[in-house]
Structures are given as C-alpha cells and as structure tokens.
Amino acid sequence: MASQYETNAAGRKVPTEVNGKAQVPFRGVGKYRPEGRKAAPPIRSCADYPADGDKRVGSIREALEKCGLRDGMTISNHHHFRNGDLVMNQVFDAAKEIGARDLMWFPSASFPCHAPLIDRLEDGTIHHIEGSMNGPLGDYASLGKMRGLGVLRSHGGRWQAIQDGEVPIDIAIIAAPTADAFGNATGDRGPSACGLLGFALADSMYADKVIVVTDNLVEFPCVPWQINGQNVDYVVELDKVGDPEKIVSGTTRITKSPDRLRIADLTARFVEAAGILQDGWSFQAGAGGTALAFAIYVRDLMRKKDIKARFIRGGSTQYLVEMLEEGLTDFILDGQTFDLEGVRSMRENAGHLNTSPFTSYNYHGKGNFASMVDAVVLGATEVDLNFNANVVTHSDGRLLHGIGGWQNCLFSRCTILPIPAMRDRVPVIVDEVTTLVGPGELIDVIVTEYGISINPMRRDLIDRVKGTGLPLVPLEQVKAEVERLIGGKPQPPRVTEKDIAAIKWVDGTVIDVVKQVE
Amino acid sequence: MASQYETNAAGRKVPTEVNGKAQVPFRGVGKYRPEGRKAAPPIRSCADYPADGDKRVGSIREALEKCGLRDGMTISNHHHFRNGDLVMNQVFDAAKEIGARDLMWFPSASFPCHAPLIDRLEDGTIHHIEGSMNGPLGDYASLGKMRGLGVLRSHGGRWQAIQDGEVPIDIAIIAAPTADAFGNATGDRGPSACGLLGFALADSMYADKVIVVTDNLVEFPCVPWQINGQNVDYVVELDKVGDPEKIVSGTTRITKSPDRLRIADLTARFVEAAGILQDGWSFQAGAGGTALAFAIYVRDLMRKKDIKARFIRGGSTQYLVEMLEEGLTDFILDGQTFDLEGVRSMRENAGHLNTSPFTSYNYHGKGNFASMVDAVVLGATEVDLNFNANVVTHSDGRLLHGIGGWQNCLFSRCTILPIPAMRDRVPVIVDEVTTLVGPGELIDVIVTEYGISINPMRRDLIDRVKGTGLPLVPLEQVKAEVERLIGGKPQPPRVTEKDIAAIKWVDGTVIDVVKQVE
C-alpha cells in the first residue's frame, strides 16, 4: 500500500485513498459541501414478491444464497443488541459455508461477542470491517492484522455514508426482537426486546437486499413497524437473536468515585450557573457513570427549581424514564435504549420517541436534532489544550472504542466533557491527542476534578458564570498540575507507519488516521 | 402533437409519448419489470440550514423565491384537506406574482375548491396537471383546454412515479395542521386537523425543495412527526391552511337507497358465505354510501358470530373507529381520514395506524399491504362482461374522478364491486368500458341489485358459495335485463381524436387514454 497523504485542515496527515476509494481530507467544521445526489437502491416490483406477504425462508444460509451472496460483497447489521448479539457470527459462518470470500463487514458497531469473527478475518471470509470495533476486534486491527483499513464513523456519519453512496450495502441483516412474515419489524417487544432499530433504518432503506432475522414472529401486521416490510426481501426465524442481559450496557451504573461525583456535580452546577438549565431546556447525557450522575444531579435541581425540560435525548436509562414519568420532561428522543426500563418505556410511553441517525445526527440532511440540544455531556479518552478530543484510541495508541454519536453531539449549543484529569496515573490532558476525533472549536467546556475549564472561544459562557463562585480553571493549569503530580508527560504511543483505521468526520471527510501499535 | 400510438396488452391504443416523455404501454398484470434505480434527491448539508432549527420565512412567495422557483418547474402537494384546501390557490397566485410560467402541478388530487386555478391554466402560470382532477378541472381538461395531457395515477402509482424518477418534483408544498419551525409536521392535531399526511410523504422524501405551510406552529418537537423536518427547507405560517368542515367528505353517509342497501347486504352475505369473513380476517371498504352500508352489515355479522378482524384498511370513518373501539378489529391501517372521528381516533388510538402509499400501495416495492387484504369493496362507473372496470370517466366520456387507491386495492385476495346495474337510466354494465382503469382479471365479484356475478376465473369462489342460496347471476344476464328495461345499449361517448389524459397502471405503464369530449 503506497498511500498518498495530505495534511488536512486540522493539521493531520491523512491518506487520500482508503480501501481503494478516494477520500476528501477534513476541510474544517461546516466547510465541505457535498455534491451530487443520494444513493438510490434498485427499483423492485411486487410481481417478484409473494402476494400473501410471506417472505420466510428456512435459514440464514438459504437467505444469503437467495440474496446472491458472492465474493467482495458488503454485509451490514445494527448493534442494538450490543454485546448480546447472537446473529452475526452465524451469518459469517454461513457465508464461509457458502464459500464467499473477501466480504466487507459494515456493522454500526461490533462488540467482544464478535471475537469469533477474528477467525473469519483470518480465513479470508471477511476482508475488513468498517464500523466501530469495541474490544478484541479493535485490538486485532490495532496490531495491523486486518487486510483493509478499518473506517470509523459516527452514527450520523454512518447514515451519511450510506445515504451518499459512499458505502453501498449489498445485504443488510436486521436482527429483530419482533417481526411478521412480511418483514415489518420492531425492537420494543419480544423476548429479546432491545428498544428500537434505528441503526438499521438506513440499511433497510438503501441496501440492495434486506434479511430480517427474528425469534418472535407475530401475525401481520407487526406493530409498530420500526422497519418497513416493504424494504425487506427475506425473513428468517431463529430460536434466539439476542441475549437480553447483555443488551444492557455494563456502563449504565452511576459512578461511586468521589472524584467523578464531584465532576458530575460541577457539571450540573455549571449548566445551572450558565443559565442553560431553564424551563423548556434540553440535554443529552450518555450512559457512562459520570454522565448518569450528572443526570441525577440535574434532576434534583430541576425538581428544586420547578423546571421542566422540553426533551431529553437518549440513550435512555431508567433515570431518564423516571424523569419522563415524573413529568420532568415532555419527551425522550431516544436513539438507543441502554437498559430494560428504557425498552419498557419506549413501548409504553407516548412521550418516549423512537429516533434514528437520520433524525438525530445525519449531517447531510436539511438539519438534524443534534444542533438543537441545549447541553450535551460526553466523555473522551484525551483532550488537548485547544479542546480537541479523542474518543477512539488510548494514549498507548490502541483502538478500543467506537465514535458512536459523539461527533454528532458536538453540534449541541453547549458541549461539555466531564472527565477525570488522569486515569490510572495517565494524564488525560495532553499536548496532542493521539487521534483527533472532535475539533476543539466544537467543545465548549471541560470539567475535571480540578474545576471547570471553558473554551476561550466561548466568551459568552465565561461571562455568564463569572462571579458565580464556580471553580473556573484554565486547562493549561490542570495539565500542569497533573504532570507535576505524575512526574511528567505521558509516553507517546509506540506506533509504526502503517495505517490501520481511518477516522471520518460527520461529513465523510477524513479527520485522522490510526496507526498500527508496535 | 403528432402522437404515436401502440396497442397495449389490454387492446387499448395508447400514446407512446406523454408530455414529452416516452411511455411503456401496459403489458399485462405483473408483466412489466422495472429496471434501474430509484430517484435520488440532492445531498444537502446541515451547514446550509439554521443550527437552531428555525426554518421559518415570512410568506409563501418568499419561500417559493428561496426555493428558486422558475419556469417549467413541477410543484406538488397532498390532498388530505380534500375540498377544504386553502393553500394551493395561494401558491399559484404567488407563482404568478413571481412571474413563473409553464409550471406542472402535481397534486395527489385536486378538488372543486381548486376551480380558481383554471385562471392560472389560462394565463400560462400552470402548463398542465398530473393528478386526479375531481370536478371542474377534470371538466376543463375533458374539453381539451389544458395544454399538456393530464396524467392520472393511483395513490400507489403516484408513489411509484416519484420513487422511480418519472416525476421529479422541484418544490413540494405540504400543508400541515400542526408543525414546528424545523418542519416536523403532523396531520392528527391542530384546528385544521386532517388525520395524516401520508400522501405527502413521497414528496417530502424525494422533492428537491420542501415547504411546510401550517396554521398551528408548536414548540419543537412536533410530535408525532409524520413528516420529518430533516427533509424540509422552509416553514411558512398562515392563518388557516384548511377548512375542517370540507375536509370531511360528503360521501361518508350510509346510503338510503333500498337498491343500494340490498347490494350492500348481498355483498356482506357473500363474504360470509364464501368463508372470507372469519376470525383474523381483513377488509377495506371506501367511504361511499354503499361501502359504508356494507361495513355496517359486516359489523353486525361479526358481532353475531363473535368474529374479530386482524385489521381494517381505511379511509377511516366513524364506523370503522367504532369497530376498533368496540374491539371488533385489532387495527385500522389508515391511508386517509374521511371524517373527524377518524382524525380523533388516529390521534388517540394506538391501534389506529398511519400508513402511506408506500406501505399500502406502491407496486415497485418489495410487496405492499394491498395484496394481503382478504376482501376489498370498491365502486366503478362502468364494467364490461370481462369484469374490466372504469372509475375515472362517465359513459358520456367526461373525466370527472380520480383513481385514488382503487387500482392498488384490486390486488386484494377478493375484489368486490357492489354497484347499481344502472344509474339515471344509464346502464353500468357495457360492451366496452369508456376508459379501462382496472383489468378484469383482478376483479372477482360484481354485486348489483340483480344479484351476485362472480368472475368465471374465480372458480374457487363460485364453488364456495354454490348451494348457499345466494342469488348468483351471470353478468351477461344482468346486462341483458338492464338493456331490456331501458330499451337498449347506452349511447357511445361523443369524443374527438384528441387525447386529454393518460391513465397509468400501478407499474407506470399506460393502460388507457381519455379523449376530448365533443
């Protein structure tokens, strides 16, 4: 691979070609203007589908064969089952049986449960993966063992890539907790209920062929139809498509660390002091322990001050559901349910709304929800003094996390990163982030155990909290104190010159590249 | 216009070019296979839309100007307000003010309230109309006064034409009873509530530019969002977008004619005797007086026999809503609400589901709902002895009705036309229908005041009702008796050689053409 490189608008040297496709280097936030028209799937005819609506076939293998699986195709799936997915290993085993090779796997994310697919990468069934690689597959890629480059996209970026035709999907696999024989499918009910199927929506609309796999077949019509059967080719019944216990993310517990509780408390007090927390406001907080603690503190403030949110953006958890049911918010706009209370609420509460990366995050639409959120609370593995942040690699260079909705959320009116200033004696505030995932101009506030650091570009926020008694501290000072405590800067990652993954910005341009670790 | 003609598979001589576009003549039911890919709207960027989501502009004129309205463009709209639409006359007045000429109007249907647009046709603002022309505009076209050809499509055919790129929409106008400033919109609430906006869904997805016009702006998010703001360019506020009294169709009253009541009763008894009326069944009946009477009779039978439907396809009326609320059906799958009870139910009942021409009718999808309906009860202006039927013209040749979902519904498992054998002493059963809209092979049963005539192709149905005491009568005999009573066959329509409208089949092929009346 004699890659050509170009230095992008963020000063990062990025390849001009990835997996054989020409790339546009990142040009700055809002600077790249797409051209052309959206992707267009083939026109079908009802004459080629059963009039009685029964699209069932006997097995995953049969469905793949009927879809015309062949070498080099792209197979996609959604990750609403997270680490409880029981389908995709079977899909690639069937692909191997059929003898297909060099497939591109295009999940919305992969998890440790997909570690067996390392065998399919090794035996040539899978060529490479484009999508988040959480855990073992990320490690595998980090070591330079994958043939192609990993391509990491945000949830919105994945929609954008499908919609814009950058990633044509040959066969989409949609594991569905409930479906009918026509292919209408929902995630909010059934023994493997995972809430919603929004990550599969683009796949269902744009893929050439769509296979719904379910363990809970119901009489037509499956209601709600989060996925339209009108986009589905085949339906396969399995005993079990997902493991409900593992659908629940392990990170959905509130932190017990005193430092992190202090960070969460400071974050809540900041949104109050800055006047963001007011009647009709909106916020998004992830499912991490600190973010959850923030949500709890904010809830208490809202109760005390008799403030009601217009909407809260999920990933939903029991805490958000309680706020909805208590009347502290009109709506939860949910992109993925993080626990079973979220699943129940989506099924039962009219104010708990099913969203998709199209409605929430797609940057190549006529607007999206992300920029209308008053405050968003996110994590990061590293930040630098210009507020640039990393969420995919650790300081040792290993690629261990996906982007998720993180990049998309940065467009919120106020983006706050409540993060510890160090982790396991490794500083989090660094001279230069190992991988640039979010440009500092979109990151407004960083809250550490040392206090609140506001991006100097947000003069308005600084003015609003001045004199409120909140501990404001320049990021430089936090960095210096951590380095003094630890005894110096972190070791730079030991990496080779070989690219192992490209990091896309929300508009499809390349913002950075990840190198193989030594 | 030196049109070329070709005789299609139904034996009709149809033009091979309509409004400058090459046409495929009807090839038979299920015979034409589309090629190529769906239409693809331009890729947009959030960078070009307001981050705060506020897309409001001051007037329809301003919105049209911002959309770059120019000569020859195609302007579309939905007809959920039916004869109560207050928007489209204003749109074309604004277009005239701007000085745009030769526009193509592409409504899902037009109504007598749009009679003022005859002036816009006369002054050159509108070149021609593709879409149902109910009443005065149909009459205008029938007299050969419109410059281009009218093109009539079914609801599903309109989706197909947009989806397949046959009709690229430049600017879609979506009148919305409730919307937010971002363009999320719903029809189920607000002072002008019309139920749903399904006829506008394709327009919102495929048009280059989309304008939402509302008289009930609500705080973001407008819930439900039947139309996604992510597809909307501009939002315009008006005092009033629709007249709720006129939204209610005048045909939603049960017939009082003894003949028609008998026809409705026979139809209900037929579905019972044929074993169609059984637990878990489904049916669709329109809003005409006879169809409503059928629904009432069927409801009584279902109560008596303790039978529950799985779903009823709407147009919804108070009668269907009562059945849903009484538990006689699990679901109403609704394509348009015909009265205010339908609107209320769609808002309040979880089992009253919003559908679109995509889910229900689009023939160029991977199946649709229409072919899964056990029985459908429809009208017709004329039928012939081969069960071919007409719904758009009268026997005098005048084009006075749209196709609606009629063609799409023919794919039901049993299509029944309960119609009078004569109207105003004009026979309805004719040697040859004035305009062929539905091929006889899809029409299973015709019920007249003379009895039940089953299509000989449906041997299975004939066997099932034999010996049940139902009055079966060959269609030939009905025709002969009517002609004896009236004193002969009807006068053939007096038409010229000039084409005034093309009739599309559900797959976009041309099934017939309508001639100018003398």
Residues A428 and A460 in one domain: yes
**Which chain B residue lies closest to A332 (C-alpha atoms)?**
B221
Residues B442 and B462 in one domain: yes
Window B:199-218, CB contacts with A under 8 Å: 210
Helix (H, G, I), strand (E, B) or coil at A497: strand
Closest CA–CA distance from residue B474 to any residue of chain A (Å): 28
Decide if B221 and A311 are in contact by the 8 Å CB cutoff: yes
Q: In whole angstroms, what is the distance from residue A72 CA to residue A66 CA?
A: 16
Number of domains chain B contains: 2
Decide if B43 and A31 are in contact by the 8 Å CB cutoff: no
Token couple for A104: 């591109």
Residue at B111 is within a domain: yes
Angle at A158 between CA A153 and CA A160, to 5 degrees: 115
Residue B47 makes CB contacts below 8 A (sequence gap 6+) with: A30, A31, A33, A363
Angle at B51 between CA A457 and CA A329, to 5 degrees: 100
A476 burial class (0-12, 13-18, 19+ CB within 10 angstroms)? exposed
DSSP labels for A191-260? TT--S--GGGHHHHHH-SEEEEEES-B-SSSPSS-SB-GGG--EEEE-S-SB-HHHHS-TT-S----HHH
Residues A394 and A294 in one domain: yes
Residue at A419 is within a domain: yes
Residue at A4 is within a domain: no
Q: In whole angstroms, what is the distance from residue B373 CA to residue B493 CA?
A: 35
Of A196, A222, A247, the residue at which a domain comes to its end is A247
Decide if A51 and B371 are in contact by the 8 Å CB cutoff: yes
Closest CA–CA distance from residue A29 to any residue of chain B (Å): 9
H or E stretch at A376 = strand A375-377
Q: What is the DSSP letter of B435?
A: S
Residues B65 and B123 in one domain: yes
H or E stretch at B265 = helix B258-273
Residue at B333 is within a domain: yes
Q: Write the residue in A39, A45, A221 that is nearest to B364 by C-beta.
A: A45
Q: In whole angstroms, what is the distance from residue B414 CA to residue B217 CA?
A: 44
H or E stretch at B244 = helix B244-247
The residue count of chain B comes to 518
Low-confidence ranges of chain A (pLDDT < 50): 1-2
Q: What is the DSSP letter of B449?
A: T
Token couple for B237: 């506020």
Residues A100 and A46 in one domain: yes
Residue at B119 is within a domain: yes
The whole-number mean pLDDT for each consecutive block of 10 residues of chain B, a chain of 518 residues, reads: 84 97 97 97 98 98 98 97 96 98 97 97 98 90 94 98 98 98 98 96 98 98 98 98 80 82 97 98 90 95 98 93 98 94 95 97 98 97 98 92 96 97 94 97 98 98 96 98 92 93 98 95
Q: In whole angstroms, what is the distance from residue A342 CA to residue A320 CA?
A: 8
Residues A116 and A193 in one domain: yes
Residue at B28 is within a domain: no
Token couple for B33: 């296979």
pLDDT of residue A134: 86
pLDDT of residue A252: 65
Q: Under a CB-based contact definition with an 8 Å cutoff, are residues A500 and A149 in contact?
A: yes
Chain A hits for B366, CB-CB cut-off 8 Å, are 44, 46, 49, 55, 183, 210, 229-233
User: What digits encode the pLDDT tens for the residues A309-359?
Assistant: 999 998 999 999 999 999 999 999 999 998 999 999 999 999 999 999 999
Q: In whole angstroms, what is the distance from residue B103 CA to residue B94 CA?
A: 12
- Cβ atoms within 10 A of the Cβ of B431, count? 11
pLDDT of residue B1: 46
Query: Is residue A505 within 8 angstroms of chain B, CB to CB?
Result: no
**Which chain A residue lies closest to B28 (C-alpha atoms)?**
A47
Of A247, A268, A300, the residue at which a domain comes to its end is A247
Residues A242 and A271 in one domain: no
pLDDT of residue B253: 76
Long-range contacts made by residues A61-65, C-beta under 8 angstroms, separation at least 24?
Answer: A61/A94, A61/A97, A61/A98, A62/A236, A63/A211, A63/A233, A63/A234, A63/A236, A64/A91, A64/A94, A64/A95, A64/A98, A64/A100, A64/A171, A64/A211, A65/A98
DSSP labels for B345-385? HHHH-TTEEE--HHHHT-TTSS--GGGG-SEEE---SEEET
Residue at A302 is within a domain: yes
Q: A42: closest CA among B507, B39, B159, B363?
A: B39
Decide if B46 and A364 are in contact by the 8 Å CB cutoff: yes
Q: Under a CB-based contact definition with an 8 Å cutoff, are residues A29 and A506 in contact?
A: no
Domain ranges, residue B471: 258-494
**Which chain A residue lies closest to B411 (C-alpha atoms)?**
A51
Q: Cite the DSSP H helix spans in B46-164.
A: 60-66, 88-98, 117-122, 136-142, 155-163
Q: Write the residue in A48, A225, A310 that is nearest to B219 by C-beta.
A: A310
Q: In whole angstroms, what is the distance from residue A511 CA to residue B417 CA?
A: 63
Residues B288 and B237 in one domain: no
Per DSSP bridges, beta strands B309-313 and B329-334 are parallel
Residues B241 and B266 in one domain: no
CATH number of the domain bearing residue B241: 3.40.1080.10
Of A219, A247, A275, the residue at which a domain comes to its end is A247
Decide if A45 and B34 are in contact by the 8 Å CB cutoff: yes
Residue A326 makes CB contacts below 8 A (sequence gap 6+) with: none
Per DSSP bridges, beta strands B5-7 and B13-15 are antiparallel
Query: Is residue A168 within 8 angstroms of chain B, CB to CB?
Result: no
**Which chain B residue lies closest to A372 (C-alpha atoms)?**
B52
Residues B468 and B413 in one domain: yes
Decide if A232 and B366 are in contact by the 8 Å CB cutoff: yes
Radius of gyration of chain B (CA): 23
Q: Under a CB-based contact definition with an 8 Å cutoff, are residues B489 and B483 in contact?
A: yes
pLDDT of residue A333: 98
Greatest alpha-carbon span in chain B = 73
ipTM over 0.85: yes
H or E stretch at A462 = helix A459-465
Residues B404 and B381 in one domain: yes
Residue at B283 is within a domain: yes
Q: Under a CB-based contact definition with an 8 Å cutoff, are residues A212 and A185 in contact?
A: yes
Chain B hits for A346, CB-CB cut-off 8 Å, are none
Residues A205 and A144 in one domain: yes
